[in-house]
Structure 1
Amino acid sequence: MSETTNMLGTYLRARREQVTPQQVGIPVVGVRRVPGLRREEVATLAGISADYYLRLERGRDRHPSAQVLRSIARVLRLDDDHLAHLLALGAEVTRRSARRSPTETPPPGAVALMHSLAQPAFIEGRFFDVLASNALARALSPGLVPGGNQLRDFFLSPAEQALHPEWEDLAECLVANLRQAAGTDVTHPRFVELTAELGAGSDLFRLLWSRHEVRGQRGTRVRVVHPQVGEMTLNRERLRIDGADDLMLVVYHPTPGSVDADSLALLASASLPVAAGRGSADVS
């Protein structure tokens, strides 16, 4: 049974393999043949039968109670994001792609707001496709052009990796965000296309994807080494766009009065006149 048809079982097994016996107070005696916890150990600690837990992992029982899943989550040391994902898988709450437009189009007002900002800003779709960007965003990163995809750039573009010295940490975060964004809607055409491309082109993506990490999107600080203005540390914020399912306005902004603010202002002064001369290319 594939991951797509047995999402709950695949997720339970992946998370079980990442919890050590020591973390749950089980003494280790001799050589263990499996990574992480054994199925019967999870079942005992969760207060359910080993046979029932085996049925869950093998996809023979797809409607466990929330109480059972919370007990298992406690054993597997799942945080709130991972627990929410587990409950969604257990309830088979599927986001129907058929109910959504095949294309993601940002509202004109959001695009106008993005262009009015003095900071690098862009609009991203559910699976981190770049739908629109302002000139300073493209000056900051050539990958932030309409039609680009942030995950694809982090894993497959050496130029983007050079721009972000901590790109592996950022990529790991985005992979966990992708799991959270997809939820149980793993047959969405764009999701299938993107994960297939990344899986074929990156060993690191395949490794991270197999861990089944789940994380919601949050603001963070990002270190950038730009070829024109050198190193900057910028705050990255994601703001949900009202009335547009799953679309986010992403803004990079420096701490006011910092050296980073001076560097970003220098980048703006050096690049924006050139970008402005390209006509409508910055409007997507």
Structure 2
Amino acid sequence: MQATPYRYTRHYQGLVQAVVFDWAGTLVDFGSFAPTQVLIDAFAGFGIEISLAEARLPMGLAKWDHIQALGRQAGVDARWQAKFGRSMSKEDVDALYAAFMPLQIERVAEYSAAIPGATTVLGNLRERRIKLGSCSGYPRVVMDKLLPHAAAQGLRLDHAVATDDLKPGGRPGPWMALANVIELGVGELAACIKVDDTVPGIEEGLAAGMWTVGLSLSGNETGLTLSELRALGPDAIQRHRQRATAKLAQAGAHYVIDSIADLLPVIDAIEARLVRGERP
């Protein structure tokens, strides 16, 4: 007897249950300078000059992977070969990472002021009984320094995953985002939103089956301090916004907004789509 195949499609039609946030460039550190500037200083300790633009290209990856990807860029590789007579090896990445980590731990709080609007948005989400998760390219030793500093500014989340907490690895894989889902006890991936300022972070959310929201002006893609951004004219700001939006949208972001301060209307829009039975 031949079995008859049946197709059953289940659509979640409820509210948003959880938001998983990135940290640098999303909740804290407007312009995302803590990871990039410290990387520049770590490479300088090896006699290699890298630019801020070069340091930003692999942003969102775990920091060891970030250093390796940075060393593979054509310009950085050429400078490394000119100084050492070879391309960067795994042992070189290990050495750079070892130099980078104490600097990152020491200076992460220096750069990690709360992004305007972050505390208000988190408070509103709590009032709506939405659970608050987070993950980062930072390893645990850096997260342990960052979290109390963030909490002192009113940024308290329900869970935080560091890139080395899990064996499978970091972004762009889904594991850190899914670890939040498990810890927060959320039963519907379609009820979750990932908010991030980097391409790997958007890819992470998509891989986890979540809605994704990119940030165009507060994070890595624009890479300006708040005061630098405010000093620009409207046309210059719009050019930054358009360039960053295009990159994050191409990565698959369902929505792109300027900063976390603009998130609440997106929550409403996603909830309206969920009620209609739409999925990420």
Q: TM-score, normalised by structure 1?
A: 0.24
Structure with more contact order per residue of length (Cα contacts < 8 Å, sep ≥ 6): 2
Task: Work out which of the two has the higher radius of gyration on C-alpha atoms and give 1 or 2.
Answer: 1
